[in-house]
Amino acid sequence: MTSTHQKFAYAPAPESRAIVDLAPSYGLFIDGEFTEAADGTVFKTVSPSTEEVLAEVARAGEADVDRAVKAAGRAFTKWSALPGAERGKYLFRIARILQERSRELAVLESLDNGKPIRETRDFDLPTVAAHFFYYAGWADKLDYAGYGPNPRPLGVAGQIIPWNFPLLMLAWKIAPALATGNTVVLKPAETTPLSALFFADVCRQAGLPRGVVNILTGYGDAGAALVAHEGVAKVAFTGSTAVGKAIARTVAGTRKKVTLELGGKAANIVFDDAPIDQAVEGIVNGIFFNQGHVCCAGSRLLVQESVQDEVLDALKRRMSTLRVGDPLDKNTDIGAINSPEQLARITALAEAGEAEGAERWAPACELPESGYWFAPTLFTGVTQAHRIAREEIFGPVLSVLTFRTPAEAVEKANNTPYGLSAGIWTEKGSRILSVASKLRAGVVWANTFNKFDPTSPFGGYKESGHGREGGRHGLEGYLSEAAGPTSAHDGHLQALPGGEREGERDR
Amino acid sequence: MSPVVPAHAPDAAGRLARLADVTASDSALRRFLHGLPGVDAVGLEARAAGLGTRSIKTTAKAYAIDLAISMIDLTTLEGADTPGKVRALCAKGVRPDPTDRTAPQVAAICVYPDMVAVAKDALGASGIHVASVATAFPAGRAALSVKLADTAEAVAAGADEIDMVIDRGAFLSGRYMEVFETIRAVKLACARPGGTSRAAGSGGGTAAHLKVIFENGELSTYDNIRRCSWLAMLAGADFIKTSTGKVAVNATPPNTLLMLEAVRDFRDAVGVQVGVKPAGGIRTTKDAVKYLVMVNETLGDDWLSPDWFRFGASSLLNDLLMQRQKLSTGRYSGPDYVTVD
């Protein structure tokens, strides 16, 4: 026995930030060059965990959007004419460079976003590289993707991504676009611009032809200009439902193709025969992964009444072991909230939960003094009528509802304007299949939650958006089926006199 | 049955009495064990792997190393064991690092029953326990009378702790009651007038501590391991232990995590605290620290002591000592700077 009975307290295990070489200021990445904004305006990006200013970044305006789209348009001619295998080589090269630089990028992402290093290191970066590897493999096999023989790229893709997984969302957007022969103008979120700029450097390192990828850092006005630009053939957006609706209005009536990946309010359904310990892990992973800044987060826990106490006791015990704090500490489970605006929104919704009568619980945890923080929070006694059961909170706040029968679980799970994801926990295989088939959600996880794979399509129902990203399905949004040889052949047949077809004449 | 009853659970006897219903018949026991929550293998393994990524450095590492040393059941279980070998091991257990007297001593020396007297004599008044693998270790394939005689002999020779193996054949063919009754019988055979026991709160020590070995590699499924954990605890095990160290799959982080969850749930349900001992294949400081992290985050402080958690190991100690030397000197030494016993 050790002489004095202390506690097993983990010493800080900080990842070094020296591996990231941050410049004081960054420009826009247009046509293979870093350049200032046309009107010279800049904005600052801060570290959410310390409020320290990390760098100054150029703020793109309408003129910059125009420059970038034109550069991408010029690059499109050559890029789309490359054989698929050649495009694949560039993508493989990017994937390998991302792997080589993964530690640097993980630290950078953690600094700029506030998410814990263990997530950027163990989840974000490996998944980012996996997406590029996956779509690199598709580049020379598009004829066999199920979108007709010789499907064609669309042109310039205008892509707008959110701040919750900056580099991963970039990968989801850029990898399929380049694999299919499109060129890209991408606007990262204003609070997390840095990893996209580092990715621009990765593109240069890979020798990617100029103009194929352009990065415009900026605010919503730049995004709006990008969506509206006549040179853009395809709009891909991930973010809030409100902005998604505005984009849909802008492109309505144009020939632009659109995919939208929007909000969610996923039901995580725990039946009484669930593997309880693993379900608790899944609930924690479902809502506290990435501080709950996940559009498919399992933010509504639907637990069968007969096991409610058991599950809640276990969940509270587990939540008490979550470590909140310095994102660069390798032992941190929950990092900082990305921005003061988001913190205010989470705070307001949590207060609404209390005001509407739900019972609030959070484990005792000390939050750092500077930066934006919110303790992992649980609401019990929540009903479908509460705001916290209906609105997306996008933070570490879990609402617990109960049900008595599978039918009631399905009814409550589907009773939402959203439909991005859902989870089912039961040891009974037939119940997984029957419930999953009734849930109106793009992804249904069984006995797990928040698992992602580049080969698996992702997207939503209803206000969670339309279109799919990832997998073979993710190619569809970047391809046109109006293919050359097939339509030419059809035209020839229609031109035959009397509408007769070759080969039918002698029958 | 005389379970270890911690002070915070005064009503444990009552709760245990209620649980006695589930051991009233073969079918009641089966219904109870099969009614335990299932184990999702993918989720369990992911959780164990996640806990393995904790980064334990500096002061936390120094604390963990000393704690791990103090939890070791330093073991020799070879057919070729001799009194000389056992005495050498005991000397090492008492003073693991001859160059640094601040290194803590181990928890116990674990030997075959015929070596108990030798170990007892060699350890003297050091306070280190003697643990003995009785009950036809490692196969457990012997008549109950033989197992009880094996146990009684080890206890009579002075063993403080008995590590018994269950009959995996009986468990796998569903003869749960047979396994249950064997454990109960061995537990009774552990009783000894005037012996010493670490049983916290048992007041005076009248029995050797009973560790029940499952041989998880042979139980094969996680559901079986959870059922076996409850079965052993209901029958009065003071500790549950992963394995003999004699088969291909011994202690693993997932199967140990599962047993930690079982003892936690058992204490919640009954108020009786049971210890856990992973054994076999834990050779490095890094591995040992991962197990301590698992205990820390699953059970907390209550189990972070040699009274409630042990490592069954023979080669782990030297790696812990080398890491300990590295922390105090700032340099790695090498295998010649720790003893080979």
The tens place of each residue's pLDDT in chain B, 341 residues long, gives 334 444 445 566 777 777 778 999 999 999 999 999 999 999 999 999 999 999 999 999 999 999 999 999 999 999 999 999 999 999 999 999 999 999 999 999 999 999 999 999 999 999 999 999 999 999 999 999 999 999 999 999 999 999 999 999 999 999 999 999 999 999 999 997 654 444 433 444 579 999 999 999 999 999 999 999 999 999 999 999 999 999 999 999 999 999 999 999 999 999 999 999 999 999 999 999 999 999 999 999 999 999 999 999 999 999 999 999 999 999 998 899 999 97
pLDDT at position B192 is: 78
Radius of gyration of chain B (CA): 19
Q: What is the mean pLDDT of residues A234-263?
A: 97
Does the annotation count B277 as an active-site position?
yes
State yes or no: cis peptide before A363, omega within 30 of 0: no
Q: What is the mean pLDDT of residues A177-200?
A: 98
Inter-chain CB proximity B43 and A3 less than 8 Å: no
* pLDDT per position as a tens digit, A310-335: 999 999 999 999 999 999 999 999 99
A-chain residues near B43 (CB < 8 A): 275, 277-279, 281-282, 447-448
* pLDDT per position as a tens digit, A143-175: 999 999 999 999 999 999 999 999 999 999 999
**In Å, how far are B19, B324, B327 from B333, measured between CA atoms?**
53, 10, 11
Q: How far is A130 from chain B (nearest CA, A)?
A: 20
B-chain residues near A1 (CB < 8 A): 70, 104, 305-307
Inter-chain CB proximity B70 and A122 less than 8 Å: no
pLDDT at position B199 is: 44
Using alpha carbons, select from A318, A334, A279, A320 the residue that is nearest to residue A301.
A279
B301 contacts chain A (CB < 8 A):
yes
**Backbone conformation region of residue A292, classed left if phi is above 0, alpha if psi is from -120 to 50, else beta:** left
Contact between A91 and A132 under an 8 Å Cβ cutoff? The reply is yes
| H helix and E strand count, chain A | 17, 20
Inter-chain CB proximity A2 and B53 less than 8 Å: no
B-chain residues near A118 (CB < 8 A): 53
Preferred mutation among B47, B59, B223 to probe A, highest tally of A CBs within 10 A: B47
Nearest C-alpha in A relative to B103:
A2
Q: What is the mean pLDDT of residues A293-302?
A: 98
Q: How far apart are CA A420 and CA A460, in angstroms?
A: 4
Q: How far apart are CA A424 and CA B226, in angstroms?
A: 22
Given A295, A296, A392, A476, which residue is catalytic? A295
pLDDT at position B5 is: 44
Contact between B113 and B154 under an 8 Å Cβ cutoff? The reply is yes
* pLDDT per position as a tens digit, B198-250: 443 344 457 999 999 999 999 999 999 999 999 999 999 999 999 999 999 99
Q: How far is A449 from chain B (nearest CA, A)?
A: 10
Complete DSSP assignment for B73-94:
EEE---TT--HHHHHHHHHHHH
Using alpha carbons, select from B257, B317, B245, B254 the residue that is nearest to residue B288.
B317
Coil/strand/helix, residue B60 = helix
Preferred mutation among B39, B45, B58, B63 to probe A, highest tally of A CBs within 10 A: B63
Nearest C-alpha in A relative to B104:
A2
Under DSSP, the state recorded for B309 is: B
B-chain residues near A273 (CB < 8 A): 37-38
Under DSSP, the state recorded for A448 is: -
Inter-chain CB proximity B67 and A5 less than 8 Å: no
Inter-chain CB proximity B44 and A278 less than 8 Å: yes
pLDDT at position B194 is: 55
Contact between A321 and B297 under an 8 Å Cβ cutoff? The reply is yes
* Degrees, nearest 5: CA angle B189-B194-B199: 70
Under DSSP, the state recorded for A324 is: B
Does the pLDDT value for residue A348 go beyond 70? yes
pLDDT at position A507 is: 33
Interacting residues of A146 by C-beta distance below 8 A, sequence separation 6+: A472
Given A190, A261, A463, A476, which residue is catalytic? A261
Complete DSSP assignment for B205-257:
--B-EEEEE--HHHH-SHHHHHHHHHHHHHTT-SEEE---S-SSS---HHHHH
Coil/strand/helix, residue A12 = coil
Taking the model in full, what pTM does it have? 0.92
Complete DSSP assignment for A93-152:
HHHHHHHHTHHHHHHHHHHHH---HHHIIIIIHHHHHHHHHHHHHHTT-GGGSSS-SS-E
Inter-chain CB proximity A448 and B56 less than 8 Å: no
Given B120, B241, B307, B319, which residue is catalytic? B241
Across the A/B interface, how many CB contacts are shorter than 8 Å? 81
pLDDT at position A71 is: 98
Q: How far apart are CA A62 and CA A210, in angstroms?
A: 21
CA within 13 Å, CB half, B325: 18
- Both tokens assigned to A138: 């598709």
Q: Residue B57: how many CB atoms within 10 A of its CB?
A: 16
Q: How far apart are CA A322 and CA A100, in angstroms?
A: 30
Does the annotation count A261 as an active-site position?
yes
Q: How far is A275 from chain B (nearest CA, A)?
A: 5
Does the pLDDT value for residue A493 go beyond 60? no
How many Å separate Cα A60 from the centre of its chain? 23
Q: How far apart are CA A129 and CA A170, in angstroms?
A: 11
A-chain residues near B56 (CB < 8 A): 10-11, 13
Q: How far apart are CA A227 and CA A221, in angstroms?
A: 10
Inter-chain CB proximity A330 and B67 less than 8 Å: no
Does the pLDDT value for residue A77 go beyond 60? yes
- Say which of B42, B55, B70 has its CB closest to residue A448: B42
Preferred mutation among B34, B40, B56 to probe A, highest tally of A CBs within 10 A: B40
For chain B, the first-to-last Cα distance in angstroms comes to 38
Give all strands of the β-sheet with A53-58 in edge-to-edge order. A25-26, A53-58, A42-46
Q: B240 - beta bridge partners?
A: B212, B276
* pLDDT per position as a tens digit, B132-172: 999 999 999 999 999 999 999 999 999 999 999 999 999 99
- Residues, chain A: 507
* pLDDT per position as a tens digit, A372-393: 999 999 999 999 999 999 999 9
